[in-house]
Structure 1
Amino acid sequence: MPKNFNLPTTLKPYEGTGDPNIHVTKFHSMMFLNSAFDPILCRYFPTFLDGATLLWFSSLPAGSISIFQELADLFTNNFTASKFYVHDSDYLSTIKQDQHESLLDYMMMFNKIAMEIPNLNPDIHLYVLKSGLHPSKFHKTITVAKPKTLAEFREKAIGQMKIEELRQVCWINKPTQSKEDDQKDLCESIN
Structure 2
Amino acid sequence: MTLFDGTTDHFDHVSQYKQKMITVTTIGHVKEACMCKGFGSTLSGPALRWLGSLLNRSISTFDDLVNAFTQQFASSRKPQKHAGDLYRIVQGANETIGEFNTRFNNEKVAVRECDVSTAVEAFRRGLHNDSDLYKLLTMHPCHSFEADQEKATSAIRLEEDMLARACIPSTLGISSTSAIEKSGRK
**TM-score with structure 2 setting the length:** 0.80
Following superposition, the deviation at residue 113 of structure 1 comes to: 1.8
The answer to which of 66-75 and 152-161 deviates more is 66-75
Please name the residue that 2:17 is paired with.
Answer: 27
Please name the residue that 1:151 is paired with.
Answer: 146
Structure 1 residues 174 and 76 mapped into 2: Cα distance closer, same or farther (>3 Å)?
farther
The answer to which of 153-162 and 98-107 deviates more is 98-107
Equivalents in 2 of 1:155, 1:130: separation in Å? 13
Structure 1 residues 174 and 27 mapped into 2: Cα distance closer, same or farther (>3 Å)?
farther
Following superposition, the deviation at residue 175 of structure 1 comes to: 5.7
Q: Percent identity?
A: 25
Runs of 5+ in structure 1 lacking a partner?
Answer: 1-10, 178-191
Equivalents in 1 of 2:11, 2:137: separation in Å? 38
Equivalents in 1 of 2:22, 2:171: separation in Å? 60
Following superposition, the deviation at residue 174 of structure 1 comes to: 4.2
Equivalents in 2 of 1:173, 1:22: separation in Å? 48
Equivalents in 2 of 1:69, 1:174: separation in Å? 67
- C-alpha contact (below 8 Å) 1:17/1:84 kept by paired residues: no
What is the DSSP-based 3-state SS (H/G/I as helix, E as strand, rest coil) of the residue aligned with 1:93?
A: helix
Structure 1 residues 172 and 34 mapped into 2: Cα distance closer, same or farther (>3 Å)?
farther
Runs of 5+ in structure 2 lacking a partner?
Answer: 173-186
Equivalents in 2 of 1:38, 1:80: separation in Å? 23
Following superposition, the deviation at residue 73 of structure 1 comes to: 2.2
- Superposition RMSD on alpha carbons, in Å? 2.0
Larger Rg: 1 or 2? 2
Deviations 1:142-184, CA, capped at 9 Å, x for gaps? 111111211110111111112222223323444669xxxxxxx
User: Letter of the aligned partner of 2:78 in structure 1?
Assistant: F
What is the DSSP-based 3-state SS (H/G/I as helix, E as strand, rest coil) of the residue aligned with 1:119?
A: coil
- C-alpha contact (below 8 Å) 1:12/1:48 kept by paired residues: yes
Equivalents in 1 of 2:20, 2:61: separation in Å? 18
* Equivalent residues, number: 167
Please name the residue that 2:6 is paired with.
Answer: 16
Equivalents in 2 of 1:174, 1:14: separation in Å? 54
Please name the residue that 2:85 is paired with.
Answer: 91
Equivalents in 2 of 1:66, 1:172: separation in Å? 67
**TM-score with structure 1 setting the length:** 0.78
Equivalents in 2 of 1:172, 1:39: separation in Å? 64
- Identify which of 146, 162, 170 aligns with 1:167: 162
Extract structure 1 runs of 4+ deviating beyond 4 A. 173-177
User: Letter of the aligned partner of 2:113 in structure 1?
Assistant: N
- C-alpha contact (below 8 Å) 1:103/1:157 kept by paired residues: yes
